[in-house]
Amino acid sequence: MTVATSPGLAHPLGATLRDGGVNFSVHARGAEHLELLLYERADADRPAACLALDARAHRSADYWHVFVAGLAEGQLYAWRAHGPHDPARGLRFDADKVLLDPYGRAVALPPGYRRAAAAAPGRNDAWAPKSVVCDPRRYDWEGDRPLCRPFAQTVIYELHVGGFTRDPSSGVAPPRRGTYAGLVEKIPYLVDLGVTAVELLPVFQFDAQDAPPGLSNHWGYAPLSFFAPHAGYAMQPQAPLAVLDEFRDMVKALHRAGLEVILDVVFNHTTEGGDGGPTLSWRGLADGSYYLQDGAGHYANYSGTGNTLNANRSVVRRMIIDSLHYWVQVMHVDGFRFDLAAVLSRDEDGHPAASPPVLWDIESDPVLAGTKLIAEAWDAAGLYQVGHFVGERWKEWNGQFRDDVRAFVRGDAGQVARVADRLFGSPDLYGARPREPAQSINFVTCHDGFTLNDLVSYDRKHNEANLEGNRDGTDHNLSWNCGVEGPTDDPQVEALRARQVRNLLAITVLSLGTPMLLMGDEVRRSQRGNNNAYCQDNPLSWFDWTLLQRHADLHRFVRGLIRLRFRRESVREDRRLTLSELVQRAHVQLHGVQLNHPDEGHESRSLAVTASSLSGDLLMHFALNAWWEPLDFELPPLPAWAGADGTGWRRIIDTARAAPEDLVEFGTATRVGGTTHRVEPRSVVVLFAAARAG
């Protein structure tokens, strides 16, 4: 293969089509010289052309660049970097290894890809992933734009692209099953459920072989690229340009249905692992630039995966911002949830920084001004920043909400005051600064941990299938099996579990904040007690669509909860009310079984709350009984407009009642009379009173 070259430009990074060819640029600090490798096939054992770059002509500062005439979209390429191997100085060059472009927009995996070959001595051309030249301008978005829905109007559904439709019960036919296109087929289900945003587990190209032997990395927290969509979720995984179109087709279809797309992004580590891990990209180009290391060249491990990106070093900050820009401007996504976001607040020595540059870069970036930003405000090394994550725009996964609501519903002592805070948007965490009510992302389950069904069915984790001796996964589950470990035919145990599931869902969806639901919780999807199913790409993790019929009553309940949430003016309100302003205007009152006497004692397990709509013509009364005996709660007196002249108290939700009486429409709800109302053991009751039936 004969090509004509010229020095090219350092900017932009990556492979850029221009002037009848392609400009290539890559950061490679410390390299002595670089080679650009051009391949005809992903599994070729030798490049069709090997272009040696001379430092005098092709290097500007730490950037190596070359223009190659005649190349077009679809060209496969990679880098080879030559230099010293001196880990103590942040140099791990290996001239045998084929290296992905950190800015590559698409990745071609050879059919025989072998992760191990990138960690073993010798060349690995035939088994290495390659980057692909792309033209992002050629796609027709047909006027599509990110939706920019306010958080106050958002209900998030966390799902796994592959696992959502990979099970045959999905009714999605191959080759669409388990793909971006398969998700598109299920959009009507999401719309009917009532959620407004899907939060996709990682869809950046990841290394599925980053898992115990014989298993597969299912979740995707093993990034191989920060720009390319994962080919394994495409109908044509061996056609990199088609992968780009399939991803964008999915985004466009979701937007047309009114659903936002939030990506779970992993900017805290890469799949290259720790010492002895594979050399696939960053390590072989500029190891000391990309990773946090100690003075001896050993990797810091704040991510729990072997390495940690040096997020506040300029080259990594730029890569993160450029990646976010790309996914917003070119791929049209609506937001990001940052995995282990506390890592991004660590400085170049790994210490927590009061004002981390990369987070302020994201916070203040005009391209990201309308983008949802969600932080998982902790890391694997114990840095926990829930309630005080930097900036004003960031929303936070509220781990305290998860733990306190689980503990209260389980019946633990000493939880009443804590759960009261969670119901009101966690003012103890977010009250110090002006924050909108949606600041807290409220959830009781997510991909990491028990599913909702397993939370009420298992006292301990059962992760033996992960082949790590059941040592992986947290032991702090705050779960309760309701008397029997695992599946049971006991109708009393099963009835109690069903009630507990409804209690947890009702509190999550109706509390102030932004609710998030885990895929399949609405039909009691189970992982058989596995609380760390990251490596289980099999029916254990997939959505079993037969559950939709088996648990149709719960599915109906969740649909009703979401619709009830959107009838509240506090959710429909577009103005940026702060949390304290909303609580004040809603005239929130706390009670115990006696009005205006909340019992926050250690042994108390009951709480009641009264609040009004912002317009003042709707009253809501919530009664929570986590005790194992029934309790009679005093009812607040009604104003004249809601009493004789209005609707009176109507029971909308009672989780102790069998479907369909567990949640009813306002117009058909039972009118509640008297001065007290009995709330059954371990149940939640919600009463409404309105000035008019409509």
Please give the positions annotated as active site. Answer: 339, 376
Q: For residue 482, what are its two tokens?
A: 């309701």
Q: For residue 30, what are its two tokens?
A: 């410390």
Annotate 15-72 with DSSP letters as a single string.
EEEETTEEEEEEE-TT-SEEEEEEESSTT-SS-SEEEEEPHHHHEETTEEEEEEET--
- By the 8 A CB rule, do 24 and 9 touch? no
d(Cα 111, Cα 400) in Å, to the nearest integer?
44
Give the C-alpha distances (Å, rounded to integers) separating 122 from 36, 116, 244, 626.
18, 11, 32, 63
Q: For residue 665, what are its two tokens?
A: 């429409």
Cis ω for the linkage preceding 356 (within 30 of 0):
no
Separation of CA 452 from chain center = 17
d(Cα 259, Cα 244) in Å, to the nearest integer?
20
Q: For residue 409, what are its two tokens?
A: 């519903």
- By the 8 A CB rule, do 603 and 627 touch? no
Burial class (CB in 10 A: 0-12, 13-18, 19+), 210: buried
d(Cα 199, Cα 193) in Å, to the nearest integer?
15
Cis ω for the linkage preceding 660 (within 30 of 0):
yes
Q: For residue 628, what are its two tokens?
A: 């194992």
- By the 8 A CB rule, do 386 and 430 touch? no
- Could you write out the three-class secondary structure of 355-424? CCHHHHHHHHCHHHCCCEEEECCECCCCCECCCCCCCCCCEEECHHHHHHHHHHHHCCCCCHHHHHHHHE
Q: For residue 136, what are its two tokens?
A: 């992002």
Separation of CA 408 from chain center = 25
Write out the H or E segment, with its range, that includes residue 77: strand 76-82
d(Cα 622, Cα 610) in Å, to the nearest integer?
6
Compute φ and ψ for 229, nearest 5 degrees: -70, 150
d(Cα 405, Cα 310) in Å, to the nearest integer?
35
- By the 8 A CB rule, do 344 and 307 touch? no
* Eight-state DSSP code of residue 452: H
Residue (of 684, 676, 672, 670) closest to 623 by Cα position = 684
Residue (of 237, 220, 10, 201) closest to 107 by Cα position = 237
